[in-house]
Chains A and B, each alone.
Chain A
């Protein structure tokens, strides 16, 4: 009975959210406060209803009720409880429900938090959020219900896809969804601003935290996906420019552009249309991500379940969102004229503008690469694939430009930068960057990208250090305290700025990890019998033999290796092949990863013959953990901004 209750709850939620589109706006137009207040109850009720629906599905999972089709398809009785709960978003139907649940939670939160401050825009916000929720609920109710039963009920379920039975995969989708869905709040605020005609800076100020939070969640989601691919898929890499990976990367790129350009509007009241455009594009790309994965128009390792019927629905839904939001923007654009013009091409606002342009060019590159196969197929009927070489060639130069702008923009003056300002801020960093690149070149780094990246990293870090030093010594002399206390004061007075700079350092660390691990990667595939040895880099690997391994719901084999560096034993490594005991019998690879100071040693077992020979892929990935550290530092930077204390005087 429970699951029928859940189904009933989503049907009710669908009707409630349709009411949520109409009632608050009607209240606003007829100046009826009780109708407006009803809007707040509606989003709350919606959240409770969808929570109930998720709850009944989780309950059915935990009760191992295999008469529920979704439960039978995505779990079995041997599946550990942790993964049984995570199976909620393990398949198509459940992940849509989960997406909608996060959406309803955010909508309710936003309505309550911003209720007092924005009485004129909240009704629109509720209407927009309700419309998006209704769109997803209709998809769930009519085309992708996780509440269906099967008859006769199987005595045992299939299994959760073994690839998903992994902590990384349990957290990767929720973080992505938090990012995607989070952007719906700034989007709704932007639409509310357009619809109500209140196009000042207030919508940007009130969505600042939402934007940052969504952005960092999306960042973590993408990085977790990369980390999962790295140790679970066994090919030694973390990013393959797969269409679905691209789908999560595009909103990230545009979201990053938006995050920066809103600051120009806050400080200089410029870029008004531009900011609206960016947030609409960001949220549309989040929806496009859903469309790309679920419609089956692009071939991808991620396309677990395709159905053209859903594709048509999502296409209609997405078209409605696109036409409505861009249409409103176009119609309202006459309200958005600003008289402020750029004073000089050498200024912070123009640095932000270039940052935006290049981020958008980067997005367009990914967009074209992702959709080119579809375009060619549609026009000429030929199949092509766009692979990593295209992206590496086209994308890398754009990234370098963005990184250089990342060093310049925070340090250059608003309005018009004087020659003095530029010399003072950039001469020493320029020398520092060139000098360190030269030193690396002398020590044998000969490839172009690594050298350029070293230059950029040192240039940008130097601008940050010099800036912090100058500001702190100003504060220490100004209020007569020591330099460390001055650093604290500088920090305290401009936490948002320094939080941002910490995030920039995180980006640099991450890029160093990417360049280091791709430019200096070593790899080798070898066939071995017990007792054999092979060398890779300065390490030698001795294959001792194969042994059995087992977990709660899997059995498998592992190959035992001893690793030596110059005859000194450094590690034991055990790459595994696992066979999960559920209905799905796909073998999975568990790479053995040994972090060393300069990078990871990585072994992945690809084949075992009956005679006891094994084929193993060995990689050495220098600096690869810098990617994950970089993500951590970016997170820290965002936390510092989010927890900044509000100024008492403002």
Chain B
């Protein structure tokens, strides 16, 4: 065995090992500087009824905040999952699900909700100001806010597959039961 033989073998093992370890991870769960901070307050008109909604009226509850838009392809993919999360927890008195309709035409948004279904309220954010406060740089993004109004979790991208169960079992359920969410 010469030196370069050993070097090649070590490099190969290292690279393959790194990829193997990296396969189980999710590059999209990007920690936000906002995680652990207080959720920025906001208010705005309801997409369907036009009445004013504000975050402060949900104080003391666990809030799942989902930024979406009718023109966003991935938002369609995750929509059923969001409805099912709401269905799973809405009987709990302290659970609130809230959509933020980001930079959308009101007509398109209403058409989106009527064709894909909606069981929770959505706030209109035409100018994207709420999204700016939350540091959103693309839809969909989802935040989980605890009873004290602190952001505990953020996910960039559609809620699908394993993310769904991580969201419901490791974040939302513990928070509702007064436990700490599990960090993965």
Contacts and interface: CB of A to CB of B under 8 A. Distances in A.
A contact face: mostly helix, strand, loop, or mixed: helix
Interface in B1-55: 2, 5, 8-9, 12, 15-16, 18-25, 27-31
Contact of B21 (A329, A378, A383, A584): A378
B19 A299 contact: no
- The residue among B2, B5, B70 with the most chain A CB atoms within 10 A of its own CB is B5
Contacts of A330: 5, 8-9
A246 interface: no
Contacts, number: 67
B23 A308 contact: yes
Interface in A350-395: 371, 373-375, 377-378, 383
B119 interface: no
A291 B2 contact: no
Contacts of A586: 71-73
Contacts of A371: 18
A311 B23 contact: yes
B173 to A, nearest CB: 23
A359 B71 CA distance: 44
B16 A298 contact: no
Contact of A291 (B5, B19, B30, B108): B19
Contacts of A312: 23
A323 B5 CA distance: 12
Interface in A298-328: 298-299, 308, 311-312, 315, 318-319, 322-323, 326
Contacts of B24: 308
A354 B16 CA distance: 29
Given A295-B23, A312-B23, A323-B12, A333 B5 contact: yes
Contacts of A298: 27
Contacts of B21: 378
A587 B18 contact: no
Contact of A297 (B15, B22, B73): B22
B67 to A, nearest CB: 15
Interface residues of A, number: 31
A585 interface: yes
B73 A374 contact: no
Nearest to A379: B21
A33 B181 CA distance: 68
Contact of B30 (A319, A329, A383, A583): A383
A539 B15 CA distance: 51
A291 B22 CA distance: 12
B71 A377 contact: no
A389 to B, nearest CB: 19
Chain B interface residue number, banded: 20 to 34
A355 B28 CA distance: 38
A296 interface: yes
A319 B11 CA distance: 12
Interface string A501-543: 0000000000000000000000000000000000000000000
Contact of A299 (B15, B16, B28, B31): B28
B71 A585 contact: yes
Contact of A315 (B16, B27, B73): B16
B16 A374 contact: no
B12 A374 contact: no
Nearest to A312: B23
Given A299-B27, A383-B30, A315 B19 contact: yes
A330 B12 CA distance: 13
Contacts of B15: 322
A297 B27 contact: yes
Contacts of B30: 299, 383
B129 to A, nearest CB: 13
A319 B16 contact: yes
Contacts of A323: 12
A583 B77 CA distance: 12
Interface string B91-125: 00000000000000000100000000000000000
Interface in A562-620: 579, 583-587
B22 A374 contact: yes
A377 B71 CA distance: 32
A308 B21 CA distance: 12
Interface string A202-229: 0000000000000000000000000000
A523 B55 CA distance: 38
Nearest to B72: A586
B20 to A, nearest CB: 6
A377 B2 contact: no
A379 to B, nearest CB: 9
A315 B2 contact: no
A89 B11 CA distance: 33
A643 to B, nearest CB: 38
Given A333-B5, A587-B71, A375 B18 contact: yes
A173 to B, nearest CB: 20
Contacts of B28: 299
17 contacts: A295-B23, A298-B27, A299-B30, A312-B23, A315-B16, A315-B20, A322-B15, A326-B9, A326-B12, A374-B18, A374-B25, A378-B22, A383-B30, A383-B31, A579-B71, A585-B72, A585-B108
Interface of B: 2, 5, 8-9, 12, 15-16, 18-25, 27-31, 70-73, 108
Given A297-B25, A323-B12, A378-B21, 5 more contacts: A297-B19, A374-B27, A377-B27, A383-B29, A586-B71
The 4 nearest A-B residue pairs measured at CB: A299-B27, A585-B71, A297-B22, A378-B21
